[in-house]
Structure 1
């Protein structure tokens, strides 16, 4: 078990600023959190080393690049053994429509988060999934409305 240090208010302000704009200039970040550049950078580097900051990436709009209809696909496999799970995960990982995949507890083995353009595109995705070896059951749920999508957890006095 790894020990985690408590983040202070300056760390939280740094994280909030970086989650809003990962390309913020270091001097601007320092001004925003009320420190000079060197101590700000030391804090950022420490949080990177500790794994609190995992990396930096551009946020792409999956609806413009893949399709505008989000769908959650729950998949139950015939057998839950290591090699079957590994083959399924590898096969799903190369599907461009799938933006997230999760091994689940409960009645389904996997939950996939995908985007499709229309029902024909969804049927194509479903065909590719059903062709995979070891699939017992697939159930899909289409998103009617997205009301919350965070790129970072809410940060406040109760964080870490």
Structure 2
């Protein structure tokens, strides 16, 4: 039987610190927590192996880069094949995040697109036209991220 590894307060502190600054070094993490770089290294390996830390990334300012940030709330008809729809969405260049959801929408899809409205319309149509079991799509343009905290 596989051994179950527990997450403790130090692991949670590491995740919290990295969610604020993913560029922290093992040395900086060790100093902040009051432990050694070697222990941080072992814990980081464990957290990555367990899938708790899935990715290190940045949060760009899309507006400054000349892009629009759009969220599509997609409601599917009952019986829709969600997994195959997700596979199809993963192949779309402008689709950056795909989330399964409970509530009004079955899927929440984050899209980064050039600011040209005709191009945005074309991108949204190319995304939604491939989903045969769509019931409804809500489109939201994100104008500003006021707070972004992952943990």
TM over 0.5: yes
Change (3 A) 1:29 1:113: same
Q: What residue is the counterpart of 2:129 in the other structure?
A: 131
Q: Which moved more, 1:130-139 or 1:62-71?
A: 62-71
In structure 1, how many angstroms separate the alpha carbons of the residues matched to 2:51 and 2:103?
Answer: 29
Does the 8 Å CA contact 1:62/1:115 hold for their aligned counterparts?
A: no
In structure 2, how many angstroms separate the alpha carbons of the residues matched to 1:73 and 1:15?
Answer: 29
Residue 20 of structure 1 deviates from its aligned partner by 4.0
Does the 8 Å CA contact 2:68/2:141 hold for their aligned counterparts?
A: yes
Does the 8 Å CA contact 1:66/1:115 hold for their aligned counterparts?
A: no
Does the 8 Å CA contact 2:67/2:114 hold for their aligned counterparts?
A: yes
| 1:146-157 superposed matches below 5 A | 146-150=145-149, 152-153=150-151
Deviations 1:4-49 (A, max 9, x none): 74522x4444334433444443334323322233233233333334
Deviations 1:115-149 (A, max 9, x none): 22221221111220342141333221222332122
Unmatched segments (≥5 aa) in structure 2: none
Answer yes or no: is 1:112 the counterpart of 2:113: no
Does the 8 Å CA contact 1:63/1:69 hold for their aligned counterparts?
A: yes
The alignment partner of 2:46 has SS state of: helix
Deviations 1:98-125 (A, max 9, x none): 2222233334332212122221221111
Q: What residue is the counterpart of 1:156 in the other structure?
A: none
Q: What residue is the counterpart of 1:72 in the other structure?
A: 71
The RMSD of aligned alpha carbons is 3.2
In structure 1, how many angstroms separate the alpha carbons of the residues matched to 2:130 and 2:65?
Answer: 22
Provide the aligned length of Structure 1 versus Structure 2. Answer: 147
Change (3 A) 1:86 1:38: closer
The alignment partner of 1:63 has SS state of: coil
TM-score normalised according to structure 1 size: 0.68
Q: Which moved more, 1:87-96 or 1:128-137?
A: 128-137
Q: What residue is the counterpart of 2:42 in the other structure?
A: 42
